[in-house]
């Protein structure tokens, strides 16, 4: 009886002590740990003391706010496990055995993860404030391991504590802490979470990592490390948010306007190295450590993840960056940026980039020629990389924009002002810069045309032809400051040069669709103009359209070829469509060839091009009837030079004779009519002996030696040019 009374008294006294202790612990400030933090062993005790032990067990799991604990055995288990991972000397590193215990506890009791994270965050904040950076590193290492190990529904609350600690490190002044926080964030970004988060925000991290990308730290090595950490951080943000619909849209302009300029700023440091095509996998280890190479990989990954609706938001900051830092004029960096863009985005989105560049070109219409030329050069490179059909649905709008820029450049060159009223502008317009811009636009038109299928290229040819002012049809350019007749001439030349680019490499099986009336008639009308440059461009366009077997280079110069088999010409049988085309347009072609030979301003290039045109018609479009007509045309040209009714110059008469001789020598070998071939060879041999200046070898040279011998009488020519009357076929 006495012993039972004493036990009851002891229990009441112990309970009173426990209540006072709990009150004290709940209000006291944290103090250093006075006793070991490991739980005390439970010895074998008699039944009279079990109640006391049970009470101590309850206090052991009591969670007191702000409790560091005067008695480790009375602290929550998760706190003891967290404390145990920290060694006495931070240089010893994380206590791995105790870390395994903490990880096992977190996996066994996932509802404790948020408390573990909050306590680690509390310790880390205290260690940062007290400059105990060794313990800071240990805390972050523990967090990383817990993140990698735990995937449960409670992970979101733990992540909030983790991001709070990362933010604390990024806000620190010490570069090492910033880099440490970034590395932890990158590890976190690579983790695929099982549950979505509805309230997490990464706005701070986008801003902070962007600031780190622009670091101006005094020590260059540390500055490089900070910038690389910023780039890695941005890459982590993109990976974490780009595919998560619940997160704030990383493609919004408010984020892209920070991310993209930060990447381009670091990409500029490697401007001297040329960008590789699809991916920089061949870079050496040293190159991979440079901010420029790291930036390029990050930029490629960002663009590779861009969907159709996000391309504009990703490209617009690039355009603004190049504008703000005047990087169009140098061209090199701008071209490099857009090479990366075109190789990284999905091929079906290429036309979106091109449309943005065209819009930007229009927006800079009154900027300097060097800026516009830089944009055009980028367009040229982008079109070369883009896949077939990348111009998009508005094909003619693309060419309309380029032709409008071409016409504006001509106006600026003639008026000397960007002002339509003709007043002298503040900016000085340099003629040679405008000419360079015009050539760049023409090349770009050709580059775009090469990406189009045949039927669309035909539409573009008709579209450009409709833009060329025709004498008598277009009275003048609509712009009063366009320079009158000279302006019309310049625009005609520029647009015809554009047509040359579009028709280069043009392949068609049906000449009727390739050269419809709406295209052929205005084109041939230009072949009768007085301007020799215009006539030469027209002939070049005809060569490009008619030549379907790449025979043009084999007739680059006029000569008497003894055996045409050495040329390895490609000749196909004339198709039904070609026969129909020649029945419809042959006489029109012959007439314009004949009239072109009568022009006084025709030079060696004109006669060489006419010879090539006659040769191509003979191989591409000729049937028996066409061959006879072509021979008659050659003889008519010869008679033109003999009679000289058009008062041709001596040189032009010799050139016409040489052209006829060279073509008749070619056609006789193509037809293989023995008597015809024999007659042609006899005439050529006679000319070689008596009048070599009537053969191409002596006429179509840079400085004809025998030009002084060309002062001859018409009767002398007639004696040497015996006419051949073809037999009826």
DSSP 477-531: -SSTTS-HHHHHHHHHHHHHHHHHHHHTT---S-HHHHS-HHHHHHHHHHTTSS-
Beta carbons within 8 Å of 609's beta carbon, 6+ residues apart = 536, 539, 540, 543
pTM: 0.77
| 367 within domain boundaries | no
Can you give the pLDDT at residue 573? 83
Asked whether 156 and 188 are in contact (CB, 8 A), the reply is no
| 246 within domain boundaries | yes
Q: In whole angstroms, what is the distance from residue 585 CA to residue 517 CA? A: 9
Place of tokens 């990362």: 166
Q: In whole angstroms, what is the distance from residue 56 CA to residue 74 CA? A: 7
| 117 within domain boundaries | no
Number of domains in the chain: 3
Nearest to 74 by CA among 139, 24, 10, 135: 24
> Which residues does the chain have with pLDDT short of 50?
1-5, 7, 9, 11, 17, 21-43, 45, 48, 52-69, 273-278, 281-287, 422, 424-425, 475-481, 706-715, 718-729
Q: In whole angstroms, what is the distance from residue 524 CA to residue 591 CA? A: 10
| 391 within domain boundaries | no
Can you give the pLDDT at residue 475? 46
| 615 within domain boundaries | yes
| 114 within domain boundaries | no
Per-residue tokens: 342: 């075109």
Asked whether 117 and 155 are in contact (CB, 8 A), the reply is no
Can you give the pLDDT at residue 718? 44
Note whether 67 and 205 are same-domain residues: no
Asked whether 177 and 134 are in contact (CB, 8 A), the reply is no
Can you give the pLDDT at residue 435? 92
Indicate the residue among 345, 375, 397 that finishes a domain: 345
The residue segments making up the domain with residue 294 are 201-345
Note whether 578 and 713 are same-domain residues: yes
Can you give the pLDDT at residue 5? 45
Can you give the pLDDT at residue 167? 93
Indicate the residue among 287, 310, 345 that finishes a domain: 345
Angle at 284 between CA 282 and CA 288, to 5 degrees: 100
Nearest to 553 by CA among 498, 608, 593: 608
pLDDT digit string (tens) for 380-433?
Answer: 999 888 865 565 667 888 899 999 999 999 999 888 877 655 454 456 778 889
Q: In whole angstroms, what is the distance from residue 496 CA to residue 494 CA? A: 5
| 574 within domain boundaries | yes
Alpha helix locations (H) across 112-196? Answer: 113-129, 133-149, 155-170, 175-189
| 1 within domain boundaries | no
Per-residue tokens: 71: 């008695």
Note whether 703 and 554 are same-domain residues: yes
Indicate the residue among 40, 75, 110 that finishes a domain: 75
Number of other CB atoms surrounding residue 328 within 10 Å = 24
What spatial distance separates the first Cα and last Cα of the chain, rounded to whole Å?
148
- Residue 151's Cβ-count burial label (10 Å; 0-12, 13-18, 19+) is middle
Alpha helix locations (H) across 547-598? Answer: 576-598
Beta carbons within 8 Å of 691's beta carbon, 6+ residues apart = 712, 716, 717, 720
């Amino acid at each position: 009886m006495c012993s039972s009374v004493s036990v009851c008294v002891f229990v009441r006294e112990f309970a009173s002590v426990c209540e006072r202790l709990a009150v004290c612990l709940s209000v006291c400030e944290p103090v250093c740990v006075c006793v070991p933090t490991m739980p005390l062993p439970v010895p074998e005790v008699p039944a009279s003391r079990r109640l006391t032990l049970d009470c101590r067990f309850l206090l052991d799991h009591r969670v007191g706010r702000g409790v560091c604990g005067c008695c480790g055995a009375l602290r929550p288990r998760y706190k003891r496990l967290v404390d145990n991972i920290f060694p006495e000397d931070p240089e010893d590193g994380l206590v791995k055995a105790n870390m395994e215990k903490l990880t096992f506890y977190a996996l066994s009791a996932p509802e404790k993860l948020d408390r573990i994270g909050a306590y680690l965050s509390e310790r880390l904040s205290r260690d940062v404030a007290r400059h105990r950076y060794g313990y800071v590193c240990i805390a972050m290492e523990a967090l990383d391991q817990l993140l990698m190990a735990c995937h449960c529904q409670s992970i979101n609350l733990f992540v909030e504590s983790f991001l709070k600690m990362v933010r604390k490190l990024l806000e620190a002044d010490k570069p090492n802490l910033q880099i440490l926080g970034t590395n932890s964030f990158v590890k976190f970004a690579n983790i695929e979470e099982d549950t979505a988060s509805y309230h997490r925000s990464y706005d701070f991290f986008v801003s902070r990592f962007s600031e780190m990308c622009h670091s101006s730290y005094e020590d260059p090595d540390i500055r490089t490390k900070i910038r690389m950490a910023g780039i890695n951080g941005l890459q982590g943000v993109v990976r974490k948010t780009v595919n998560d619909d619940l997160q704030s849209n990383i493609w919004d302009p408010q984020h892209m306007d920070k991310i993209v300029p930060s990447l381009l700023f670091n990409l500029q440091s490697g401007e001297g190295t040329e960008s590789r095509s699809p991916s920089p996998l061949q870079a050496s280890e040293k190159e991979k450590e440079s901010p420029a190479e790291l930036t390029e990989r990050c930029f490629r990954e960002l663009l590779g993840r861009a969907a159709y609706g996000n391309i504009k938001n990703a490209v617009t900051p690039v355009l603004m960056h190049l504008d703000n830092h005047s990087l169009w004029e140098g061209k090199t960096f701008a071209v490099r940026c857009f090479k990366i863009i075109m190789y990284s985005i999905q091929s079906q989105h290429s036309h979106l980039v091109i449309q943005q560049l065209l819009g930007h070109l229009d927006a800079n219409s009154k900027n300097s020629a060097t800026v516009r030329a830089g944009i055009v050069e980028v367009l040229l490179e982008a079109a070369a990389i883009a896949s077939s059909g990348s111009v998009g649905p508005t094909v003619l709008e693309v060419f309309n924009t380029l032709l409008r820029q071409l016409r504006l450049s001509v106006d600026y060159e003639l008026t000397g002002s960007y002002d339509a009223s003709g007043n002298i502008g503040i900016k000085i317009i340099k003629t040679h810069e405008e000419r360079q811009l015009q050539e760049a636009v023409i090349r770009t038109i050709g580059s775009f045309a090469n990406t189009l299928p045949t039927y669309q290229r035909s539409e573009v040819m008709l579209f450009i032809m409709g833009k060329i002012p025709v004498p008598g049809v277009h009275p003048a350019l609509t712009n009063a400051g366009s320079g009158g007749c000279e302006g019309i001439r310049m625009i005609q030349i520029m647009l015809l040069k554009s047509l040359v680019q579009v028709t280069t490499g043009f392949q068609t099986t049906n000449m009727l669709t390739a050269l419809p009336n709406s295209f052929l008639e205005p084109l041939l009308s230009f072949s009768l103009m007085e301007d020799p440059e215009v006539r030469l461009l027209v002939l070049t366009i005809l060569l490009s359209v008619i030549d379907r077997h790449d025979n043009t280079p084999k007739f680059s110069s006029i000569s008497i070829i003894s055996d045409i088999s050495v040329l390895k010409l490609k000749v196909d049988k004339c198709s039904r469509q070609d026969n129909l085309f020649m029945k419809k347009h042959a006489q029109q072609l012959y007439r314009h060839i004949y009239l072109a030979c009568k022009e006084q301003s025709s030079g060696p290039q004109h006669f060489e091009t006419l010879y090539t045109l006659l040769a191509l018609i003979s191989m591409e479009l000729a049937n028996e009837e066409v061959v006879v007509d072509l021979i008659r045309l050659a003889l008519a040209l010869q008679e033109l030079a003999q009679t000289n009714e058009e008062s041709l110059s001596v040189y032009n008469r010799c050139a016409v004779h040489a052209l006829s001789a060279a073509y008749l020598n070619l056609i006789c070998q193509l037809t293989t009519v023995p008597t015809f071939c024999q007659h042609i060879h006899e005439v050529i041999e006679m000319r070689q002996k008596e009048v070599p200046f009537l053969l191409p070898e002596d006429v179509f040279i840079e400085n004809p030696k025998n030009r002084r011998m060309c002062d001859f009488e018409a009767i002398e020519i007639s004696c040497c040019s015996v006419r051949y009357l073809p037999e009826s076929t």
